[in-house]
Amino acid sequence: MARPREFDVDEALGRATEVFWKRGYEATSVQDLVDALGVNRASLYGTFGDKAQLFSAVLDRYRREVNGLVERARREVNGLVERALAPPASGAEAIRAWFRELIRMVTQPGGPRGCLFIGSVSSCATAPDPLRERVLAAVRGSTDRLEEALARDPGIAARENVRALARFFAAEGHGLAVLARAGVRRQELEAAAEVALQVLQPPT
């Protein structure tokens, strides 16, 4: 009869990921891994093989996690756009609704602070190219939908900087999500959004 495994494999891979991330592959010793995982060498080799095989398992787990983050982020963004920016929403009110939905999402009770999408953008810095491209496509898609909503307002559509305005609001939305991660309160985020919307007021 095989001896029962003495540790949770996924938890062990998570700890190994932290070690490799902090030290790098070359500087990480087998003893570093044994200490971090809290297992003996026999259990480590018996489950994962050598250091290279363990590192390969860590990379596979990381790719799966990032892929999941990107997919969840994509659904969040699409839902946000559908609720706030879909026709016939237009102009300042569309952007205000988008801010409102974004702030609600990043400050919901019991949920992780900040936007998963923003976290995905950051975590994809070393992800495979296809995953990073999906994140970048989501960023471009958000900007496109913001531009379309702005352009449905005749007064704004007549401006020469509609695309720049869309990029500005996309950046502002991302910034609000980062502030939410830092613990800024919902009311303060809403106040900041209203300040950003002032750029849409007709020049006097």
Could you list the pLDDT tens digit for every one of the 204 residues in the chain?
Answer: 344 456 788 888 988 888 887 777 778 899 999 999 888 888 888 888 888 888 888 877 877 775 666 567 667 666 766 778 888 889 999 999 999 988 887 787 754 444 445 554 554 455 556 656 666 677 788 889 899 999 999 999 999 999 999 999 999 988 888 888 788 999 999 999 999 999 998 766
> 149, 27, 61: which is closest to 97 by C-alpha?
149
pLDDT digits (tens, 9 = 90+) for 58-80: 877 877 775 666 567 667 666 76
pLDDT of residue 156: 95
3-class secondary-structure state, position 84 = helix
All domains of the chain, ordered by start, with CATH? 9-49 (1.10.10.60), 65-200 (1.10.357.10)
Dist. CA 163–CA 173, nearest whole Å: 15
Q: Which residues of 127-137 are buried (b: 16+ CB within 10 A; e: fewer)?
A: beeebbebbee
Dist. CA 51–CA 62, nearest whole Å: 16
Dist. CA 195–CA 175, nearest whole Å: 13
Taking only Cα atoms into account, the Rg of the chain, rounded to an integer number of angstroms, comes to 22
Dist. CA 34–CA 31, nearest whole Å: 5
pLDDT of residue 106: 78
pLDDT of residue 23: 78
